[in-house]
Structure formats: C-alpha cells, structure tokens
Structure 1
Amino acid sequence: MRLYGRNWTRRELEARVGHIGQIGGVRRMTLTEGKEAGTEIVRVRTGAGLAFDAVPSKGLDISHTEIWGAPVSWQSPNGDVHPMYYEPEGAGWLRTASGGLLMTCGLTHVGSPSEDASGSYGLHGRAHHTPARHVCLREEWIGDELEWSVSGMVEETSVFGSQLRLTREISGRLGENRILIQDRVENVGFRPAPHMMLYHFNFGFPLLGEQTVIKLPFADSEARDTHAPLSRCSTWETPRAGVSESVYYHHLRTEAKSSDGMAEASLHNPVFPAGGTTHPVTVKLRWSADTLPILVQWRMPGAGEHVLGLEPSNCKVEGRAVESERGGPLMLEPGATVSYKLELNVF
C-alpha cells in the first residue's frame, strides 16, 4: 500500500496501529437531531485525505465530502434530511435535497415537474429519497492492499407501473483518493419501463473560487436558457445575491471517450487550502460515455446557493413529457439492464 509518501506491507502497518480504523476505513452511524434524526450514514476515510459520507437512507448517495479537512462538495441548507419529510409533488424535492457530492436523479423521471398519460412526476424523481436495502459494508485485505466498499439496492416500483431496481457499489482502496461508483439498473417487471438517469455531482467552496478552472470534455454545447453565454462554462466567480441559475448541455463527441470508454471533466484550483497553507488541487470526474452521453452543467454562483453541478446523464432536464417529444426517454424492456460507471479522483 502506498501511504504517507512510502510503500508499506500489511504487517508493517498493523504493527504501528491498534486498529486499522486509526488510519481509515468505513464506519456506520445514525444522525439524531432535527429533521436529520434517523438518517443513516456510512463515514468513509481513505487514509490519504479524502473522506465522505455515503447515505443509505437516501439512495446510497454521497453527502459531505472533504479532502485534507476542507470541503469539496456543496451542502444544501436542508442537511441530510430523513426521507420521511420528502414532498414528491412539484418542486418539493428542493425542501429535502441534501446537496453533497452526489444526488441521484431518476429512476423513471429527471428534471422539471412533468405530467403525461402515465401520471405526474415531481422534480428529479424519487431515487435521492428512497432508502437502500441489503446494505453491505466491506473491508478486505487483498495482499498488501486494503479494499473497501459500500453496496446496496434501491427500488422504484408501483403496482400496475414501472418496476426498476438500482444495484450500487461504491468502492476504493485505503491510501487512494479515489471513489468508484458502479451502478446497474434492471427492469424487474414484465412491461417496458421508461428510464431517466442523471448523476447530480455538486462542487462547492473552497474548491470553487475565482481562480478555479473548469475543463470539460469534447462536446457540442448548448445553453438551455437564452441568458447563459457559453463563455462562462469554464470559469467561476465571487458569489452574488439574486443571481439566476444557468444550465448547459454538453453532448459528448466521439473523441471525448478515452480508450476505456470513459469521458472526463475536471476542476482545478491552484490555491486550495489544506494543512494551514494552499496547494494546487485537481478533482477529476469520469463516467461511462456510452450510457451517459450528455453532461449537464448547472451553474449557480449565487450567495448561499454557490454551487457547480456537473451531471452525467442519459437525458435533458425539462422533464418526461418534453423528453417524450424528443423521442425519449430510454425504454428498458422486461429483464433488461443498463450499467453505469463513475469515478472521482483527487490529485
């Protein structure tokens, strides 16, 4: 294992600690106050500076995330609200969305509230507010490497309606500032089911600063809103009250894919604060380009709502009815599956 600037064997490390949790690992706990009471979280520490909270109570999404004690993610004013407070109608999702590093949007609806012949759908769907089951934590030595994982299953089902199952594994190794997310969505029902999926990654201060540079993959880009110039996509700014959000669609080109089929976007801050001083830090987000061919960019440099969303997706965000007018959404046949792979690295 590479740790603290040198290579170690398992036994060399074990000789120096009472328990490997002294260095890092996974730990389950439950919040107890206010609207967060009852929310279960899994604290993951990589031992190399990266730490985050996976939240089984909320779709096994990822909440607060930090590197060397300084946050990477943006947290909403709601906190890690227990899903019992979720309001599925209209824009009620905004009252209980946690922010954090990742909010999963889907599984049958993404984007603006929408209504079609099959019913009404609230903002961004139900996945972020659906508790996972069969949650499993793992720490396992493989030779001199300690691998960790958090896995579980999230189901969105309805009598006479869609029956989709998301199986998720979040994994990595002690000593590496890397998070790997592997998802599989399966139609376990007996009729075709619409499937919309968006990975709502939220980055915030101090990773976001006036010096931060945003690098996007090769894509054909368009702004959803007329007031949003494309020139703003690669820079950041000082927070201002009353700023309007802007949304961009980056349709991946063939050359955006690397040899392993992944596309990549990154944020670079040359003066990220850590250890009482500043260091250049780059956060890279990679995802499977074939199954997530659109990168949605949500730009919100407001006061309080000071957040950049980089959101690999299989759809746009105007809602299911509009997506149907465009020839979508993706339909999963009975028994069919689709897989997604995402990876976050901090350098």
Structure 2
Amino acid sequence: MILYGKSWSRRELEARVGKIEQIAGIKRFKGIEGNETGVEQIQVRTGAGLTYYVTPSKGLDISLAEFHGVPISWQSPNGDAHSALYDAADNGWLRTASGGLLMTCGLMQVGSSGKDDGESLGLHGRIHHTIAKQVAAVSSWSDDEMDMNISGELEETSIFGGCLRLSRQISSRLGKNEIFIQDEVRNMGFQRCPHMILYHFNFGFPLLSEETEIHFKDTYVQARENGNSIHGYKEWHAPDANYQERVYYHELQGEPEVQIINHHFPFHNGDAKVQATLQWSSDTLPKLVQWKMPGAGTHVLGIEPANCHVEGRHKEREQGTLVFLEPGETVKYSLRLLLI
C-alpha cells in the first residue's frame, strides 16, 4: 500500500504501531446528550486524511466528513437527531434531517410531500430516519491492503403496503481517500411496488467558498422552476440570508461525474487545491438533481444522483416516470466519492 508518500507492507506498518487503529480503522460511538441520545455512529479513518461517520441509527447514512481534519460536508442545525423524533407528515422531515455528507431519500417517496394513490406522503420519504439492522463494521487484510467495510440492512414496510429492503455496504481502503457505496434494493413483497431513491450528498464550508468551481461532466441543465435562469449554477457565493433555494435538473449525456474544486482549501499549514469527485452508474441512477443553497446557516450544495425528480411520487406517476419493482425484483446502485 501507499501511505505517507511511501510503499509499505502490512508487517512494516505493524512493526511501527501497537495497533493499526493508530493509523486508520473503525470505531463505534453512541450519543449521550440531547436529541442525539442513543444515536450510534461508526467512525472511519483511512489514514490518508479522510475521516467520516456512518450512522446506523439514521439510514446507515454518512454524517460529518473531514479531510485532514477540515470539514467538507454540511451539518444541519438538527444535528444527528434520533430517528424516534421523526415526524413523517408533510415537511416534518426538515426537523430531524441531519445533513452530513449523505442523506438517502426514498425508498417509496422522494421530494415534495403530497398524496398518491390514496396515501399521504411526507417530504423525501422515510429511509433516512430508519434504523439499520444486521450492522457489521469490519477491517480486514488482503495481503498488504486493509479494507474497512460497513454493511447493514434497512426495511420500509407496511401491512397491505410495500415491502422494500435496502442492503448497503460502505467501504474505504487504508491509504486512499475514497468512499464506495454499494446498495441493493429488493422488493420483498408480492405486489409491484413504487420505488424512488435519491442520494442527497451535502457539501459545505470550507470546501465551498466564493472561489469554488463546480464542474458537471456531459450534462444538459435546466431549472426546476419554469422561468428561472440557469445562470450561476456552476458558481458559489458568500452566505446570503435572503437567498432563495434553486433546484436544477441535469440530463446526463454520458457516464456522470461532478467535480467540486477549491484551489485554496484551508489546511492547517496553509492552503492548497482540493478536489472532490462524485461518480455513479447512470444505468440505475439516470437523473441528477442539484440543490443550490448558499444561504446563511443553510449554506450547502446538494449533488443528488437519483432515479426520479423531486416533485413527489404523485408527479412521477402523472408523468409516467414512476419506477416500480416487481415482486422479488432487485436493483443495484453504485457510487464513488474521491478526494485529492
């Protein structure tokens, strides 16, 4: 493996530490205060500068992410509020959504609250507020490479309703600043079931500054609201308390990639260029939603690969774009975040 600018064998590293977690590894925590009481987090340190916290208590999503001790993600004012506090009605999701590097939206509803097929649906669905089960957090060696893997399952079910299971694996490798997300959703029921999913990545200060560049590879972009200009969708701004959120839809022309580049990222010993690159498979995530919100407090860029837009399930059904899974059918999703 390559670490600290040199090539090392496993035994060479082990000879220099009492425990490999001195350099990198996995550690589990539990919150003991306020609305985070009882919330479990799993810290992953790659040893190359990337640290992030996976939250089994909230969708097996990713909360705070840091690069060399400096945050790259946006945290909401709610903190990592426990899922027991979640209100599924209307826009109650906004009171307990954590922000963080990743919030998964779905599995049967994404976007605006409303009614569909006689069912009341809240904003962005339930999966971000679902507690994972069969959670495993394992570091394992293969020759001279150490992988850190977190896996678990989440279910969204209802009597006389849908029954979807999300199996998730999040992995990183010692010495590399990458996160891989491998998901599989299966219809465990015996009726076809609507399936909507959106990966709500949230980037924040100080990765985002007035000089930050945002590059979209091979996309055609339009504003969600008719009449809104797309001017400035690749730019960032200083916080503005009066800024009104903007949402853009990107039509993918090839294999998707989004780069967020800050040429003056503030490391502790000076600034340097940092680039965050998000990639995913367009086979199952053919849409990209961009949420631009350089507000005061809510100062966040959302990059959101999805199989739908964000007007809600009723709108997808009206447009004939609602995705369904047949009984027993599975669909797989693959995403990669790289920091250099």
Give the TM-score category using the shorter length: over 0.9
The match for 2:269 among 245, 270, 276 is 276
The match for 1:300 among 277, 285, 293 is 293
What is the rounded CA distance, in whole Å, between the counterparts of 1:53 and 1:139 in structure 2? 15
What is the rounded CA distance, in whole Å, between the counterparts of 1:76 and 1:160 in structure 2? 35
Q: Which amino acid counterpart does residue 297 of structure 2 have in structure 1?
A: G
1:328 corresponds in structure 2 to: 321
What is the rounded CA distance, in whole Å, between the counterparts of 2:317 and 2:251 in structure 1? 18
How many angstroms does 1:118 deviate by? 3.7
What is the rounded CA distance, in whole Å, between the counterparts of 2:229 and 2:55 in structure 1? 36
How many angstroms does 1:229 deviate by? 2.1
What is the rounded CA distance, in whole Å, between the counterparts of 2:15 and 2:38 in structure 1? 37
8 Å Cα contact 1:190/1:334 also seen in 2: yes
8 Å Cα contact 1:236/1:301 also seen in 2: yes
SS in 2 for 1:271: strand
How many angstroms does 1:73 deviate by? 0.2
Is it true that 1:291 corresponds to 2:284 in the alignment?
yes
Written as runs of structure 1 = structure 2, the 5 A alignment for 1:1-347 is 1-226=1-226, 228-253=228-253, 256-257=254-255, 263-347=256-340
Partner deviation per Cα, 1:303-336 (whole Å, 9 max, x = no partner): 0000000000000000011111110310100000
What is the rounded CA distance, in whole Å, between the counterparts of 2:137 and 2:238 in structure 1? 40
8 Å Cα contact 1:228/1:247 also seen in 2: no
SS in 2 for 1:57: coil
1:260 corresponds in structure 2 to: none
Q: Structure 1 stretches of 5 or more lacking a match?
A: 258-262
What is the rounded CA distance, in whole Å, between the counterparts of 1:125 and 1:191 in structure 2? 20
SS in 2 for 1:230: coil
Deviates more, 1:274-283 or 1:38-47: 274-283
Aligned length: 340
What is the rounded CA distance, in whole Å, between the counterparts of 1:190 and 1:101 in structure 2? 34
How many angstroms does 1:227 deviate by? 6.0
What is the rounded CA distance, in whole Å, between the counterparts of 2:71 and 2:16 in structure 1? 29
Normalising by structure 2, we get a TM-score of 0.99
Identical positions, percent: 54
What is the rounded CA distance, in whole Å, between the counterparts of 1:331 and 1:113 in structure 2? 19
What is the alpha-carbon root mean square deviation over aligned residues? 0.8
How many angstroms does 1:172 deviate by? 1.4
What is the rounded CA distance, in whole Å, between the counterparts of 2:210 and 2:269 in structure 1? 20
Q: Structure 2 stretches of 5 or more lacking a match?
A: none
Partner deviation per Cα, 1:56-106 (whole Å, 9 max, x = no partner): 000100000000011000000000000010000000000000000000000
Q: Which amino acid counterpart does residue 305 of structure 2 have in structure 1?
A: P
Partner deviation per Cα, 1:263-319 (whole Å, 9 max, x = no partner): 211100000011221010000000111111111000001000000000000000000
What is the rounded CA distance, in whole Å, between the counterparts of 1:219 and 1:112 in structure 2? 24
How many angstroms does 1:226 deviate by? 4.0
8 Å Cα contact 1:162/1:193 also seen in 2: yes
Q: Which amino acid counterpart does residue 304 of structure 1 have in structure 2?
A: G
Deviates more, 1:211-220 or 1:8-17: 211-220
How many angstroms does 1:242 deviate by? 1.4
SS in 2 for 1:134: strand
